[in-house]
Amino acid sequence: MKKSLRIVSGVCNSVNPAGCFSNVRNWIEAEKKLPTIEGGPRSVLILGCSGGYGLGARIAVAFGAGSRTMGVSFERAPTVRKKASPGWYNNQVFDMAVAEAGLFSETLLGDAFSNETRKAVIKHVKKSGMGAFDLVIYSLASPMRIDPFTGETYHSTIKPTGEKLTGTTLDVATGRMTEVSFEPATDQEIASTVKVMGGEDWKLWIEALKGADMLAHNAKTIALSYIGPDATHAIYRSGTLGKAKEHLEATAAEINAIIAAEGGSAYVSVNRALVTRASVVIPIMSAYLCALNKVLKAKGLNENCHEQMSRLMRDRLYGADAVVATDEKGRIRMDDWEMRDDVQKETSDILRCLTPDNIEELTDWAGCSDELFGLFGFSPADRGL
């Protein structure tokens, strides 16, 4: 690997704009090859549009259904001295490709948790004439949130709850395995994480859009969650992040009560674990992710963020044969392939045998590492591999 290129805590010390451009173009070309999403949404708001699941969803609806999209993300624009953050380049190429295709998009940079951004979105929708939203995708992943009413700052933490946790983590950038341990989160850390990643802000968005008459009749809104297997529960589902996801999932019912009278519906989609800027910082999950990818690839079941969101739009929310099938808690399960018994059994068999010496052989660490550097626009060739 080129010595100068490093990723520490999910942040790379460089970015390759050309690589970001081709990543987005590849997802767009993949979507264009699929049949049109019948009955797809006309006007879509994507909160968290610049990477990962939000970008995948935006590409699916724009190029699969011809939807007009407005995207909001928190990305750094370039300066004379410094390149932009990867998501800024992703937004640029998305808007360019949309214009080339004769479609409509508008992309706003701002803090989606703020009331100012809500007002800006409403103002831009009215001005652009793109029409009230019939789909709102809530795909934010953030380490902090400023309460828009009190100005207080909340930080999310990634910790177990109840008991101390010791486990093995894998640095996806370097392939190094280390033992880690975490004290359980305090009640305050749990509450702060729920404040940042729970459903409060999702509900504020829906209330604001409804209040401004910017939600179409029969509008749908969807937020994303994760569950995962027992092997990751201590750090995720029963940890601080899982508490926030429980809150987010419960908020779907509150939002349904707000929009049901207009035919609207709120859903939570439980998606598969994937390498994104948000997920690689979750310790212990990384070893699971590399093992899972090996198994899914061998079975021809591996999907990226775009493929997951395209399947969600086509098979579950829209399309001639779409069925909004949910589990007993009302959640759409896009993690169905990840959670298949055979996939989970083989993944846990790998994890049981994993040592620092057999990572390359037993897991898809190399592929996950390529995906991680790819998020910053670097191909294996750019890294001298």
Determine which one of 236, 267, 288, 318 is catalytic. 236
Residue 290 within binding range of ligand NAD, rule CB under 6 A: no
Say if CB 37 and CB 61 are below 8 A apart: yes
Distance CA 78, CA 91 (A): 13
From 111-119, 148-156, 166-174, 202-210, give the range in contact with ligand NAD by CB under 6 A: 111-119
Residue 40 within binding range of ligand NAD, rule CB under 6 A: no
Query: What Rg, from alpha-carbon coordinates, does the chain have?
Result: 20
User: Residue 71 has what DSSP assignment?
Assistant: E
Cβ closest to ligand NAD, residue 48 vs residue 239: 48
Q: What is the x/- site pattern for ligand NAD, positions 218-247, by CB under 6 A?
A: ------xxx---------------------
SS3 assignment, position 218 = strand
Of the residues 21, 53, 133, 154, which one makes contact with ligand NAD according to CB under 6 A? 53
Q: Is 236 a catalytic residue?
A: yes
Cβ closest to ligand NAD, residue 215 vs residue 372: 372
Of the residues 196, 273, 332, 350, which one makes contact with ligand NAD according to CB under 6 A? 273
Cβ closest to ligand NAD, residue 61 vs residue 141: 141
Question: Which position's Cβ is nearest ligand NAD?
Answer: 52
Q: Could you tell me how many residues of this chain bind ligand NAD (CB under 6 A)?
A: 29
Of the residues 31, 75, 338, 371, which one makes contact with ligand NAD according to CB under 6 A? 75
Q: How far is the CB of 122 from ligand NAD (least distance, A)?
A: 16
Say if CB 59 and CB 94 are below 8 A apart: yes
Residue 49 within binding range of ligand NAD, rule CB under 6 A: yes
Say if CB 242 and CB 282 are below 8 A apart: no
Residue 51 within binding range of ligand NAD, rule CB under 6 A: yes
**What is the DSSP track for 119-173?**
HHHHHHHHHHT--SEEEEEE----SEEE-TTT--EEE-----SSS-EEEEEE-TT
Cβ closest to ligand NAD, residue 74 vs residue 366: 74
Residue 156 within binding range of ligand NAD, rule CB under 6 A: no
Q: How far is the CB of 175 from ligand NAD (least distance, A)?
A: 19
Distance CA 62, CA 49 (A): 12
Q: How many CB atoms lie within 10 A of CB 274?
A: 24
**What is the DSSP track for 41-87?**
-SEEEEES-SSHHHHHHHHHHHHHH--EEEEEE--PPP-SSS---HH
Distance CA 290, CA 359 (A): 9
Residues whose CB is less than 8 angstroms from the CB of residue 16 and which lie 6 or more positions away in sequence, other chains included:
376, 377, 378, 382
Query: Mind telling me the catalytic residues?
Result: 236
Sites of contact with ligand NAD (CB under 6 A)? 48-54, 72-75, 87, 111-113, 139-142, 224-226, 271, 273-274, 276-279
